[in-house]
Amino acid sequence: MAKKTYEKPTIIKVESSHSKAGVPMPKQKIRKKIGGVAIDEMVERFGSPLFIFDEKAIREKYRSAYEAFSSRYPNVQFGWSYKTNYLKAVCAVFHQEGAIAEVVSEFEYEKARELGIEGKDIIYNGPYKPYDSLVTAAKEGAKIHIDTFDEINDLEKVADELGFEIPVAIRLNMDTGIYPQWSRFGFNIESGQAMDAVKRIKAGGKLRLTGLHAHIGTFMLDANAYKVETTKMVRLMNEVEEKVGFTIEYIDVGGGFASKNHLRGIYQPPEVVVPTIDDYAEAITSALYENIRGNSYPKLYLETGRHLIDEAGYLVTSVVASKTLPDSRRSYIVDAGVNLLYTYFWYKFNIELTREVSGISEPAMINGPLCMNIDVIDESILLPRLRRGDKLVISPVGAYNVTQWMQFIRYRPRVLMVTEEGNVELIREREELSDIEKREILPDKLKLK
Partner 1 sequence: MRIENLAVNKNGFAFDPTSGETFTLNETAKEIIEDLARGVEEKEIAKKLSEEYDVTQEEAMNDVLDFKEKLKLYGLLS
Ligand X SMILES: Cc1ncc(COP(=O)(O)O)c(C=O)c1O
The residue (of 8 and 29) whose beta carbon lies closer to partner 1 is 8
Which residues touch 104 (CB under 8 Å, ≥6 apart)? Answer: 82, 83, 124, 125, 126
Contacts with partner 1, residue ranges (CB under 8 A) = 3-14, 22-23, 322-324, 326-328, 359-360, 387-388
Beta bridge partner(s), residue 376? 367
Give the C-alpha separation, 315 to 428, whole Å. Answer: 14
The residue (of 163 and 326) whose beta carbon lies closer to partner 1 is 326
The residue (of 394 and 399) whose beta carbon lies closer to ligand X is 399
14 binds, among partner 1, ligand X, none (CB under 5 to 8 A by kind): partner 1
Taking alpha carbons only, the member of 31, 38, 42 closest to residue 416 is 42
Cβ pair 34, 54 in contact under 8 A: yes
Please pick, from the candidates 275, 298, 305, 396, the single residue that binds ligand X as defined by CB under 6 A.
305
Instruction: State in angstroms the smallest separation of the CB of 197 from ligand X.
Output: 17
User: Does 255 contact ligand X by CB under 6 A?
Assistant: yes
Instruction: State in angstroms the smallest separation of the CB of 383 from partner 1.
Output: 14
8 binds, among partner 1, ligand X, none (CB under 5 to 8 A by kind): partner 1
Give the C-alpha separation, 304 to 226, whole Å. Answer: 13
User: Does 211 contact ligand X by CB under 6 A?
Assistant: no
255 binds, among ligand X, partner 1, none (CB under 5 to 8 A by kind): ligand X
Which residues touch 52 (CB under 8 Å, ≥6 apart)? Answer: 34, 35, 39, 42, 313, 314, 315, 316, 415, 416, 417, 418
Interactions with ligand X, residue window 306-345 (CB under 6 A): 306-307
Give the C-alpha separation, 273 to 261, whole Å. Answer: 10
The residue (of 2 and 433) whose beta carbon lies closer to partner 1 is 2
**Stretch near ligand X under the rule CB under 6 A, chosen from 54-62, 201-209, 251-259, 287-295:** 251-259
Instruction: State in angstroms the smallest separation of the CB of 389 from partner 1.
Output: 11
26 burial class (0-12, 13-18, 19+ CB within 10 angstroms)?
exposed
User: Does 347 contact ligand X by CB under 6 A?
Assistant: no
304 binds, among ligand X, partner 1, none (CB under 5 to 8 A by kind): ligand X
User: Does 186 contact ligand X by CB under 6 A?
Assistant: no
Give the C-alpha separation, 86 to 327, whole Å. Answer: 41
Which residues touch 120 (CB under 8 Å, ≥6 apart)? Answer: 140, 141, 142, 143
The residue (of 124 and 349) whose beta carbon lies closer to ligand X is 124
User: Does 226 contact ligand X by CB under 6 A?
Assistant: no
E-only strand ranges, 111-163? 122-124, 143-146
Q: Is 313 helix (H, G, I), strand (E, B) or coil?
A: strand
Please pick, from the candidates 77, 173, 218, 318, the single residue that binds ligand X as defined by CB under 6 A.
218
**Stretch near ligand X under the rule CB under 6 A, chosen from 26-34, 46-54, 64-72, 304-312:** 304-312
Interactions with ligand X, residue window 91-110 (CB under 6 A): 102
Instruction: State in angstroms the smallest separation of the CB of 306 from ligand X.
Output: 4
Checking DSSP bridges between strand 299-302 and strand 250-252, what pairing results, if any?
A: parallel
Please pick, from the candidates 84, 85, 105, 176, the single residue that binds ligand X as defined by CB under 6 A.
84
Taking alpha carbons only, the member of 223, 216, 217, 228 closest to residue 346 is 217
256 binds, among partner 1, ligand X, none (CB under 5 to 8 A by kind): ligand X
Give the C-alpha separation, 421 to 59, whole Å. Answer: 13
User: Does 125 contact ligand X by CB under 6 A?
Assistant: yes
262 binds, among ligand X, partner 1, none (CB under 5 to 8 A by kind): none
Cβ pair 229, 216 in contact under 8 A: yes
User: Does 173 contact ligand X by CB under 6 A?
Assistant: no
Taking alpha carbons only, the member of 413, 321, 428, 430 closest to residue 369 is 321
Q: Using CB under 6 A, list all residues that contact ligand X.
A: 81, 84, 102, 125, 215, 218, 254-257, 303-307
